[in-house]
Chain A
Amino acid sequence: MALRVPEVVWWKPLHLVERTWLLVSAGFLLLLSASMVVWHAYLPVDNPGTSYKVAPEQFRAAAQAFIAQYRVGSEHGVAVVRPPEGGVAYLMASRFQWTPILKLKKGKTYHIYASSLDVNHGLSLLGVFQGEFSMNFQVVPGYINVLTVTPASTGEFEIICNQYCGLAHHLMSGRLIVTE
């Protein structure tokens, strides 16, 4: 009885139906655990697992060198950069902008080095499939989050910040361009 002291011996064998539910639940959850290994091996989408520690000023210097090397233009004062196919691309978050605008090729794989110069930000790439579904990653100052990504559709994609970063958080936006 929930509100009363139970009888002296309450450690009794389970009824068949209880045992069955316990085994079904445990089996279901074990399968769920095991499935993570399967997703890791076969799904093309996986959590980021590579990262480096970096001082924000060091990251800024590396990103600016990258931008200077591969710059192809600018939009609203933000550099447009075409990184080498299969290479490293830097993406800097700072209050309240994303720098630079990366111009990628569909079907090619890039290592995006995402980090922040000030506080936590949330990298949210919108509408990756026919204007729906987003891809979201945490951007933390002091760490490079390495995102190995292969764009699967072409167009201009909107980037927003979805980790509260200050009073103009709702104005932090950027672009990512994918061409054939």
Chain B
Amino acid sequence: MASEAGVLELGQRLGFRSRVCQVTGLRVDWAAERLITVNAVTAVVFLLVGGVMALFVSMTRWPAVGLLSGNPELFYRFLTAHGMNMLVYWIIFFEVAGLYFGGAVPLNARLVTPWLAWLGYALMLAGALLGNATVLSGRADVMWDAYVPLETPPAFFLSYIIFAAGALVACYVFFATVIVAKVEGRYRGSLPLVTYGFATAAIIAVVTLLGGVFTFVPAFFWSLGLMHEDPEAYRLTIWLLGHGTQQINLAAMVSVWYLVAYLAVGAQPVSEKLSRLAFVLYILFINLGSVHHLLVDPGLSRSFKYWNTSYAMYAAVLGSMIHAFSIPAAVEVAQRAKGYTRGLFEWLRKAPWGNPAFAGAALSLLGFGFIGGTTGVAFGHGPTSILHHNTIAIPGHFHATVVLGTTLAFMGVTYYVLPLVCRRKVVGWRLAQVQPYIFALGVALLAVALMNAGAQFGVPRRVVSIAYQGAPFPVHFPAAAYRALNLAGVGAVLALVGGALYIGIAVSTLIWGERIPAGAGPVMEQQAEEPTGAEARLHIPGTVVLVSVFLLFFIGVLVANMGSLLYLWPVH
């Protein structure tokens, strides 16, 4: 104990430039604040680039518009850039901002080696710029995954390697920050849950980046003509990377849900044990469960496919089932403690739906759970992949996870980052209040319509048009398939409006937003409140109803998918 007290004293003497947050009472390291802001702003810039690409892609695949249908080369180029800017640059830059926040702020700690964090930032930026330059100059119309042996210039793979190296440096800074905070005695005991969640994301990121090494380093040498690369081995390793990164997104998104639930209604995890167990399940199992991308591939045995996608993946799904319960439960407990106790759902009705951060996180949770998560499990279950593989149902599914889930959660938390970290009053508050709803409605419509077009009619993904004009054998999709794609087009317009509003609000706030001086009063309508002690008896009837409905819906999605297999020809 004496040594621990000594360490604590030493830590307190080691000062760092910081301020005390007037809302949370936490100490915010000045270097961390700068790095969080710069990484988040960079993320938003790439969101803008990816969003412009999304405009071209969605307006081309909307059959009634067909924007680039006369210029397939440009369509494939923009589709490649869309995937890279959204899935890689926007999300990972924002996650790095999240890591620096989660590593330093909740622990009252300093960010260790800020110069390394800046080096990581420079590498990521260089990788992202090289990637965009290579693709937009027309040298790599290959999609973000560039399946070997598709002709791809070395610069394309090199851009990923440089970007990944930068991300790895950011993970190092995060781990160093957490460990040094402990050594310097900035906190005692276990990590706060938000930091724990981001630590989960960072651990998965390191494993995933190893997958990136196995994928892109051989591919780089292959593209130089120095090495043979097996096409199926490339597919296997890129999905270790590709699916692993989705788990980084998942862990980061869930951490954001817990964070926003705390800031918006004062929700605290009902059981630290259960929530932490769920994060551990992500770490242990998800990187095993990436073969659901390869279920109809050659080169892998059926037993390996089933082993990998059954209990390996489902152990990770169990983690998500736990969060799907524990987050609404935490909100219900906090709301009931405030006196919203009437009926099953007064706590939910009286939740701060006018707070865009809360609305963003709640819609993200609902959309990810009901649309993205259930279809993810259903599409990877048993032989259902035969029905969906490479159809537009797949983009339908992952727009419900990565866009409706992760992106919307990140948009939501931005409405706290702006006043609390950047210390600017949000410009256009009324627009901000409706932004999450417009975006969520648009992406949900897009996702469901695409899944319908793919699952029922086999509409392919990654084609400029489904008219097949000039093809040797004509292809006729039924009118209902065109209707589904037209509906997706309408959803895309709403999503683009919601996305543009977000970028407009965030950028205007950073430029013109009123500065919030240190020690100023509340900046949000909804302030965090400390709930009155942990409940002895857990009274959450509303959550029980919600998760029961969710489970039934989940079973329904599975039954619908399995049932569709009965229309197919016998095959094995």
Q: A residues engaging B (CB < 8 A)?
A: 1-8, 10-12, 14-18, 21-22, 24-26, 28-30, 32-33, 35-37, 39-40, 43-49, 51-53, 75-78, 97, 109, 115, 118-120, 122, 124, 126-129, 131-138, 140-153, 158-175
Contact = CB atoms under 8 A, between A and B. Distances in A.
Contact of B310 (A33, A109, A165): A33
Contacts of B297: 138, 140, 145
A165 B107 CA distance: 49
Nearest to A159: B473
B76 A164 contact: yes
B547 A45 contact: no
A144 B314 CA distance: 30
A29 B317 contact: yes
Given A129-B567, A169-B463, 15 more contacts: A1-B262, A18-B274, A18-B326, A21-B325, A25-B325, A28-B555, A29-B321, A39-B562, A40-B382, A45-B570, A48-B572, A136-B458, A140-B297, A148-B571, A160-B475
B64 interface: no
Interface in B51-74: 72-73
Given A2-B258, A124-B391, A29 B465 contact: no
B188 interface: yes
Contacts of A16: 538
Contacts of B547: 21
- Most chain B CB atoms below 10 A, which of A30, A115, A137: A137
A162 B382 contact: no
Interface residues of B, number: 112
A33 B314 contact: yes
Given A2-B194, A135-B568, A36 B296 contact: no
B387 A160 contact: no
- Most chain A CB atoms below 10 A, which of B270, B564, B571: B571
Q: What are the 7 tightest A-B residue pairs by CB atom distance, in nearest-first order? A: A134-B458, A49-B302, A51-B298, A162-B460, A44-B570, A145-B298, A129-B567
Contacts of A119: 147, 149-150, 231
A3 B389 contact: no
A167 B76 contact: yes
Contacts, number: 321
Nearest to A147: B571
A19 B466 CA distance: 50
Given A39-B382, A140-B235, A132 B478 contact: yes
A166 B558 CA distance: 34
Interface string B234-268: 01000000000000000000000011011100011
A17 B544 contact: yes
B471 A26 contact: no
Nearest to B570: A44
B546 to A, nearest CB: 11
Contact of B191 (A5, A17, A165, A167): A5
B504 interface: no
Nearest to B531: A1
A78 B63 CA distance: 30
Nearest to B142: A164
Interface in B291-321: 294-303, 305-306, 309-311, 314-315, 317-318, 321
B192 A173 contact: no
Nearest to A32: B314
A36 B26 contact: no
B570 A29 contact: no
A40 to B, nearest CB: 7
Contacts of B388: 136
Contact of A140 (B232, B385, B387): B232
A28 B554 CA distance: 10
A2 B262 contact: yes
Contacts of B300: 51
A151 B389 CA distance: 20
B231 A29 contact: no
20 contacts: A1-B192, A1-B193, A3-B26, A18-B538, A21-B321, A39-B383, A39-B562, A46-B571, A47-B386, A76-B472, A77-B472, A129-B567, A136-B387, A136-B388, A138-B297, A140-B297, A145-B296, A162-B460, A164-B462, A167-B72
